Amino acid sequence: MSEASVSIRFNPFKGSDGPKGQAVPWNPHGQLLSERPSFTLDPLFHAGCYYVQDSSAMYVGHIFRKIVDSMGFARSGLKVLDLCAAPGGKTTDIACSLRERLGSDFLLVSNEVMKARAAILSDNVALWGDPNIAVCSCDPSAFAQLEGFFDIIVADVPCSGEGMFRKDPRAVQEWSPEVVELCCARQKRILADMWPCLKEGGVLIYSTCTYESCENDDNLLWAAQTLGGDIIPPEDEFSSFGVELTQYGYLLKAGVVPGEGQWVGALVKTSAQREKKHCSIETLRPLRYGIEKGSFKGKDFIPNPDYALSIDFDRTAYPLIEVDLPTALKFLHRDSFAIPGAALGYNVICYLGHPLGFVKNIGQRCNNLLPKGRRILMNV
């Protein structure tokens, strides 16, 4: 079997700066790279100019775009839930597709039940910079209170992970028939728990990174028959690139396609919707909801570090300091340094025109305001 490929996806709302390679057939911003660069040492990665995502995982975003473009959804106020979202690849892909089609008239809720993974998800969403993404860390059952709230739900559920065998040796060690059975039951529970929050006529996009039919086609059929839905038949589009059709979905196998293993299928909810409750996203206590410009500490206004990374950042609000690569890496290492001639107070450090974050120039040096959890740990 061939070695695992490396791929990225550009953030078109921050330009197309970053590593270049061969186009991913099913993603307009995807690039297959010939080798793996040091992303950690690339300031453009930290600026949110691109996201490192497996090309097979990008197929879920392709199905999402097909559904949005063909299902006749209202072209305003679309509400989408990415149910099992960490570390953020599908979330950022979906956000990009929504913004390209709807501008800022959408809401994307990105959820991860595991707290540590939710923190990583929140950081990656901050780097991407789209203010219309809310990040939550809830059990899927918590969304049942938002009855009929979402137009589309993307559920990339935990699975037995056969599609990761080439990339992750731990996936091989952890696999067993018992794990497959456990995952199949857990997936049903997740789908049943969140089902009330999908509106009647809404679409579930269901995906895994395994090849097991009981976790893929069988579970999508179970959802259609038990919860109430019509499966959207798969269409032959990318067979020349190795994408296989299964009974109810699409299968990408590591070694057949450049990326790792992925399965995805979709259905339309047909079961009747109960009367909506008057709930809002705030009831889920999101970790992130929009991007604040900053906050007052006494009489002083302290800029929010994430604001500099936002696609809505006002470049006239603060002085922009263009730096070279060594200085950008010092900033990302969270070092203090001097910038001769810089204005006193808050400045924004930029690399190749892309904001990285804030410093506060106090004269002899600049205090670094990069969040501690995002600093580069390796020597630079």
Residue 351's domain is classified under what CATH number?
Answer: 2.30.130.60
73 and 215 in a single domain? The answer is yes
C-alpha torsion 283→287→291→292, nearest 10: 80
Instruction: Please check whether residues 268 and 352 belong to one and the same domain.
Output: no
| Shared-domain flag, residues 318 and 203 | no
Helix (H) or strand (E) holding 187: helix 177-194
Expressed as residue numbers, the domain containing 353 is 314-374
Active site (annotated) includes residue 209: yes
- pLDDT at position 165 over 90: no
In a domain, 148, yes or no: yes
pLDDT of 274 higher than 80: no
pLDDT-wise least confident of 96-105, 120-129, 169-178: 169-178
User: So what's the pLDDT on residue 200?
Assistant: 95
pLDDT on residue 292:
94
Co-location of 217 and 127 in the same domain: yes
- Does residue 25 sit within a domain? no
Q: Which region among 70-74, 125-129, 138-142, 219-223 has the lowest average model confidence (pLDDT)?
A: 70-74
State how far Cα 222 lies from the chain centre.
Answer: 27
- Give the DSSP letter string of 48-89: TSEEE--TTTHHHHHHHHHHHHHS---SSSEEEEESS-TTSH
pLDDT surpasses 90 at 277: no
Picking from 281, 296, 329, the residue at the C-terminal end of a domain is 281
CATH of the domain at 93: 3.40.50.150
Evaluate whether 321 touches 350 at the Cβ level (below 8 Å): yes
285 pLDDT above the threshold of 60: yes
Residue range 142-150: average pLDDT?
94
Choosing from 84, 209, 350, 366, the catalytic residue is 209
If asked whether residues 108 and 236 sit together in one domain, one would say: yes
Cβ-contact 364, 338 below 8 angstroms = yes
Rounded to whole angstroms, how far apart are CA atoms 40 and 349?
17
How many domains does the structure of the chain reveal? 2
For residue 250, the surrounding DSSP H or E stretch is strand 249-252
Answer yes or no: do 212 and 110 share one domain: yes
Q: What does the pLDDT read at residue 168?
A: 82
